[in-house]
Structure 1
């Protein structure tokens, strides 16, 4: 199974108490399921009715990805962002 780095930002960082973690998984969905199992309550923040919340942004190697079934390779980096706003 590929080893990848997961980076957390803003309130996700506060919730997990981690800036980043190394994890193993075959797809982005696998990684998110592991995160939800490790951090109680994270599933409610990330998902609604089995779908990613519209305000959650998932980046793979710096690119926003449209789905969660993207296959991962060792060395990939996932970044999980909450909604971003500015003024």
Structure 2
């Protein structure tokens, strides 16, 4: 299955690119965690430690969206054609 991935700001550098498409095996094992592991194996640098805490939840200084909805766990299931976005929170003054 194919998953589209985008990353912004500081996470873009960790991804190695601003946008990519990743092939993952389908089924029960298709999770956000497996996606990040595959990206790291294919050249992403230390992405997992920047996104997830030791408890398996998304860190408070990162926003993860799957198809436009906020996701808080690396165990979140993803499907074919999903769009996953990694970005730091946006604030203004």
Please give the range of the TM-score, normalised by the shorter of the 2 chains.
0.7 to 0.9
**Structure 1 residues 14-51: Cα deviation after superposition (integer angstroms, max 9, x where no partner):** 34341211113311111122233332333442234364
- Pair 1:46–1:31, CA change in 2 (3 A): same
Q: Number of matched residues?
A: 86
For residues 2-81 of structure 1, what are the structure 2 equivalents within 5 Å? 2-25=1-24, 26-37=30-41, 38-49=43-54, 51=56, 52-81=58-87
Q: TM-score, normalised by structure 2?
A: 0.74
Query: What is the SS of the residue equivalent to 1:13?
Result: helix
Query: What is the SS of the residue equivalent to 1:6?
Result: strand
Alignment partners' CA distance in 1, 2:64 and 2:34: 13
Shift of 1:85: 1.3
User: What runs of 5+ residues in structure 2 fail to find an aligned partner?
Assistant: 25-29
User: What runs of 5+ residues in structure 1 fail to find an aligned partner?
Assistant: none
